[in-house]
């Protein structure tokens, strides 16, 4: 009978009382817990988002060491960075690896990612090496981080400048938003020792600063950051990490780090433009994956001149 039909408020209250939901093989406790209050994104909705993007995300998070930003009470609550497989995450779905007497985090499949979500992981970060070859880098990352007073268009131009310099060295590069303020330029390479990878990226960053010191800085000094873009090459070391493609960020609006094609930069408004709420629209419009060639692109790292 119509008069006995529960109201919207009653239905929401009933959903809020659910103790758990099951996705894949993982039991998500408190599925209605809100992880981003301003966007209204719940734990279960976050899991649903990752289910949609898993096929695209999988090549960048499986077979690599992961680090997490965990926010068990949501993005507005206490968050902390975690590198080891410890309490709070269903470890039976992970692929823990031994390193220096500790178990570090890796996953093999979607259930592994769901286990991280169950543990309140709102950010997934990855190392620049394969999990079974951790002494060598197989991709490089330039994190273009704008200081105070830098327009986002300048960050786009910085990304294009890095791309141009890589092209001169016959290296193909890929671009993604970070879900924060900046952009990442990623260069897949044939594995090289970390000292070589780090020195190469340092030289590139220094060359940008030397050629245009009013625009770029290769050092992390905060006093020199206003009005400049920090070309962060420090992510290119053994245990350093960068935000994974398609990972969410523990920031207002539930933004997502999104791979782009270089032609899309012209219309990009901000590095946090894409969110859990609007990413489906973007994916539905894509005819091809902008990073489709990433996994097949293995380039010898030349000496920087």
d(CA 253, CA 266): 23
> Taking residues 108-126, what's their average pLDDT?
97
CB 92 within 8 A of CB 114: no
11/136: higher pLDDT = 136
Query: What is the reported pLDDT for 11?
Result: 47
Q: Which of 17, 48, 28, 42 is nearest to 119 (CA)?
A: 28
pLDDT band at 17 (very low <50, low <70, confident <90, very high): low
pLDDT band at 224 (very low <50, low <70, confident <90, very high): confident
CATH of domain 136-285: 3.90.920.10
d(CA 25, CA 28): 10
Query: What is the reported pLDDT for 15?
Result: 52
pLDDT band at 305 (very low <50, low <70, confident <90, very high): low
CATH topology of domain 13-130: DNA primase, PRIM domain (3.90.920)
pLDDT band at 197 (very low <50, low <70, confident <90, very high): very high
Asked whether residue 48 carries a pLDDT value surpassing 50, the answer given is yes
Map tokens 């997934």 to a residue: 124
Lowest mean pLDDT among 19-33, 136-150, 215-229: 215-229
Asked whether residue 47 carries a pLDDT value surpassing 80, the answer given is yes
d(CA 84, CA 88): 11
Q: Which residues in the chain are classed under CATH 3.90.920.10? A: 13-130, 136-285
Long-range pairs of 289-296 with CB within 8 A, sequence gap ≥ 24: 289/56, 289/259, 290/174, 290/259, 290/260, 290/261, 290/264, 291/56, 291/174, 291/176, 291/245, 291/259, 293/172, 294/59, 294/60, 294/174, 294/186, 294/188, 294/259, 295/59, 295/188
Asked whether residue 80 carries a pLDDT value surpassing 90, the answer given is yes
Asked whether residue 150 carries a pLDDT value surpassing 50, the answer given is yes
Long-range pairs of 20-24 with CB within 8 A, sequence gap ≥ 24: 23/47, 23/48, 23/51, 23/114, 24/110, 24/111, 24/114
Q: Residue 136 CA to chain centroid, in angstroms?
A: 20
Asked whether residue 176 carries a pLDDT value surpassing 90, the answer given is yes
pLDDT band at 220 (very low <50, low <70, confident <90, very high): confident
Asked whether residue 8 carries a pLDDT value surpassing 50, the answer given is no
8/68: higher pLDDT = 68
Query: What is the reported pLDDT for 222?
Result: 74
3-state DSSP assignment of residue 63: coil
Residues above pLDDT 90, as percent of the chain: 83
User: Using CA of residue 150, residue 154, residue 160, residue 164, what is the dihedral sign?
Assistant: negative
Helix H segments across the chain?
A: 8-16, 43-61, 110-118, 152-168, 194-211, 279-285
pLDDT band at 7 (very low <50, low <70, confident <90, very high): very low
Over the stretch 265-295, which tens digit does the pLDDT of each residue have? Answer: 999 999 999 999 999 999 999 989 999 999 8
Q: CA dist 56 to 10, 60, 245, 250, Å?
A: 37, 8, 9, 21
């Amino acid at each position: 009978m119509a008069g006995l039909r529960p109201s919207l408020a009653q239905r929401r209250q009933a959903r809020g009382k659910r103790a758990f939901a099951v996705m894949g093989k993982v039991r998500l406790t408190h599925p209605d817990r809100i992880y981003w209050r301003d966007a209204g994104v719940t734990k279960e909705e976050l899991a649903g988002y990752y289910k949609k993007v898993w096929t695209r995300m999988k090549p960048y998070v499986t077979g690599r060491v992961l680090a997490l930003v965990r926010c068990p009470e949501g993005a507005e609550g206490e968050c902390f960075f975690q590198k080891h497989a410890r309490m709070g995450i269903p470890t039976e779905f992970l692929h823990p690896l031994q390193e220096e007497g500790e178990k570090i985090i890796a996953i093999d499949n979607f259930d592994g990612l769901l286990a991280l979500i169950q543990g309140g992981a709102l950010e997934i970060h990855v190392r620049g090496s394969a999990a079974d070859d951790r002494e060598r880098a197989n991709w490089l990352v330039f994190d273009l981080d704008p200081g105070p007073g830098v327009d986002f268009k300048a960050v786009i131009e910085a990304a294009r400048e890095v791309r141009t310099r890589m092209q001169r060295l016959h290296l193909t590069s890929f671009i993604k938003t970070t879900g924060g303020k900046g952009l990442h330029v990623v260069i897949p390479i044939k594995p090289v020792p970390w000292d070589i990878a780090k020195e190469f990226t340092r030289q590139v960053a220094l060359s940008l600063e030397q050629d245009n010191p009013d625009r770029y800085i290769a050092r992390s000094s905060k006093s020199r950051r206003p009005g400049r873009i920090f070309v962060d090459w420090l992510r290119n070391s053994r245990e350093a990490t960068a935000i994974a493609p398609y990972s969410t960020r523990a920031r207002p609006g539930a933004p997502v780090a999104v791979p782009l094609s270089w032609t899309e930069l012209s219309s990009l408004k901000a590095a946090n433009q894409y969110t859990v709420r609007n990413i489906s629209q973007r994916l539905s419009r894509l005819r091809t994956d902008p990073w489709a060639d990433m996994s097949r692109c293995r380039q010898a790292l030349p000496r920087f001149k």
